[in-house]
A and B are shown apart, each in its own frame.
Chain A
Amino acid sequence: MSNLTLPQRLELYRLLRLNRTVEERLVRLYRQGKIVGGLYRCLGQEAISVGTAYALSKGDVIGPLIRNLGAVLVAGFTPRDVFAQHMGRATSPSGGKDGNLHFGTPETGMVAPSSMLGALVAVMAGIALGARMRRTHAVAMTWIGDGAMSTGAFHEGFNFACVQRLPLVVIAENNGWAYSTPLSKQTAARSLAERASGYGAFVERVDGNDVLAVHEVASRAVARAREGEGPALLEALTYRMKGHAEHDGQAYVPPEELAEWGLRDPIALYTRYLVEQRDATSETLESLDRAVVEQVDAELEAAEAAPMPAPRDALKGVYAGETAEAEPVIIRRLQ
């Protein structure tokens, strides 16, 4: 049974819906050719992003991965930010300098991830170190996949955080696949939790498609971290329902597994729970859905109306207060 109040349980529902609706609009944009680059989806993994990030407080800092759209929205970034990022618009948080979910600063509650997976764990350990040194009581939370847990940066960063007992919570999303590589080719350990058991951290496994269970274990990990009891690694079991990115038809994934996990869709499960618990009627939830769609469509319209960046702005911001030179070579004959 959840410790959340009824309004909080309904807010979780709204956030899950927001996550999925934004993704649905992104898919539409992708098919319309309006997205710059690839589109990385999180269909079926929304409960992990939303449930964990919902356990955080103001002042905490997230370091999301490519499939953590929900966490980004929970942290307070808008669908408009996300759409503008994907379309490379001037109004995007990165000003068109980077795409998808690669944006944010600690002041805004989020560190921009890089594409070198695993690196973020070491950087987020530094965020936690900085938070502690500044006595802010902030917690750093980041996510990692079953693939990126094979990187040195993950192990170095997590080990450092554990030695220093830093307020860092890492959620290991075990969705079975890293691009086309199954878990069995990433590790000989029986689970990601087992793999993480050697660091002296708080380690737990949770059903990643049960948003309340995810939220509960994340809340515990966050509270421990905030109290100075050190890092946590939470393995959330789920399944990647779409390819690595939209271009990938994932023919390598057994269809029976997809079918099986399709019956365990986290939003469908949570909807059923809320109705069965009499938290809400189907009508109430549908009106929440409509409000989400209205909001998302309005923000999408605003994002699409935004201009592309000025080409020469590409030269700005490499160093503090400086603009790079585009054409330093000036052929000049002696007088």
Chain B
Amino acid sequence: MTGTTYVEAIRQGLLEEMERDDRVFLLGEDIGVYGGAFKVTDGLLNRFGEERVIDTPLSETAIVGAAVGAAMMGLRPVAEMQFADFISCAFDMITNFAAKARYRSGAGVPLVVRGPAGGGVHGGPFHSQNPEAYFAHTPGLKIVQPATAYDAKGLIKAAIRDEDPVLYFEHKFLYRRVKEELPPGDWIVPIGKATVRRTGRDLSILTYGAMVWTAFEAAKTLESEGIDAEIVDLRTLFPLDEETICSSVAKTNKALVLHEATRTGGIGAEIAAVLAERCFEYLDAPLVRVTAPDTPTPFSPPMEEFFLPNPEKVCRAARALAGY
């Protein structure tokens, strides 16, 4: 199978943006000489030199703080969190400094904070998290998560070109598991736009990240049982593309929200609120959420497998929903 993997797609996006715009630079832990813990930035130091690929101290606050300052000075920093879990160490910089700067002072902060999120690789409580919901409560930020190599490249390029701070969560399970042929030329995937990955009649699965692939597996099984599922890949988690979400549910009249992040206060809760507000009379059944339970990510494989959503859980929920 030929094509570009998800991890290569991110790297290509970074490289193309660095070539296009000399204001773009990278900073993070072990991203230069080592090429990053997952090799996302492999080879970029040789190409662009250490002024534009900065190996930093082990200091997430300093990484994001420096990115905020540099962005205010007109540069386009892309800060790597070695694992998305570590973004908690930079929480204040992101939520109080980057997110509020334009509003309260007029200083735009065009920066990207990116890093590997998600489980399924037995990383345990501190190397598996999906922290997007912490940040979806912070006006001033944008949050994206690609599911495909095409979106991985198109969204990183869009994030770098955006005038506001963008959190770009890449799913580490997908790095080398998905690949596709990417078209040549300069293109982006616009922030704020969801996409319908599979059209269906009977219910809408609203999801993002690695769970898009879980939804596909489930949809295949459901199809053999006569249930036709539509799959909406959100791509941008904040702000949500309410139009695409609502038009899908207005068509299928049933909504299944699927995310790998834990349940309470997750992105799914916001989708449920949007549907209740905007699509109440289109719904033929209660909304169903398939998510991880409200626990930390357990370490041991059987426990983690139990914790994560999977096609069987999606099918079970979808059958109940279809039969309502």
Contacts and interface: CB of A to CB of B under 8 A. Distances in A.
Contact of B92 (A125, A153, A318, A328): A153
A95 B107 CA distance: 13
A160 B56 contact: yes
Given A103-B105, A111-B72, A319-B164, A122 B61 contact: yes
B103 A125 contact: no
Contacts of B70: 126-127, 129-130, 133
Interface residues of A, number: 47
Contact of B69 (A130, A134, A152): A130
A124 interface: yes
Nearest to B105: A112
Interface string A245-283: 000000000000000000000000000000000000000
Interface string B261-273: 0000000000000
A194 to B, nearest CB: 21
Contacts of B142: 319
Interface string A123-145: 11111111101100000100000
Interface in B99-146: 100-108, 139-140, 142
A25 interface: no
Contacts of A324: 139
B286 interface: no
Contact of B104 (A97, A116, A152): A97
B106 A160 contact: no
A330 to B, nearest CB: 8
A62 to B, nearest CB: 13
Contacts of B67: 126
Nearest to B250: A334
B69 A127 contact: yes
Given A106-B107, A320-B164, A125 B72 contact: no
B75 interface: yes
> Chain B interface secondary structure, helix, strand, loop or mixed?
helix
Contact of A319 (B69, B102, B106): B102
Contact of A129 (B66, B104, B277): B66
A156 B57 contact: yes
B61 A130 contact: no
Chain B interface residue number, banded: 35 or more
Contact of B59 (A126, A128, A160): A160
Contact of B65 (A94, A97, A123, A319): A123
Contacts of A163: 56-57
Interface string A303-335: 000000000000001111100100011000110
Given A133-B51, A134-B74, A157 B61 contact: yes
Contacts of A122: 61-62, 64-66, 68-69, 93
A52 interface: no
Contacts of B66: 122-123, 125-126, 129, 157, 160
Contacts of B205: none
B48 interface: no
A114 interface: yes
A137 B56 CA distance: 22
B102 A157 contact: no
B96 A119 contact: yes
Interface in A155-179: 156-157, 159-160, 163-164
A106 B71 CA distance: 10
9 contacts: A122-B64, A122-B69, A133-B25, A140-B69, A157-B62, A163-B57, A328-B277, A329-B277, A333-B281
Given A129-B73, A317-B103, 18 more contacts: A93-B105, A98-B105, A102-B104, A116-B96, A122-B64, A122-B66, A122-B69, A123-B97, A124-B69, A125-B69, A126-B68, A129-B70, A130-B75, A156-B62, A159-B57, A319-B142, A320-B163, A321-B163
Interface of A: 93-95, 97-98, 102-106, 111-112, 114, 116, 119, 121-131, 133-134, 140, 152-153, 156-157, 159-160, 163-164, 317-321, 324, 328-329, 333-334
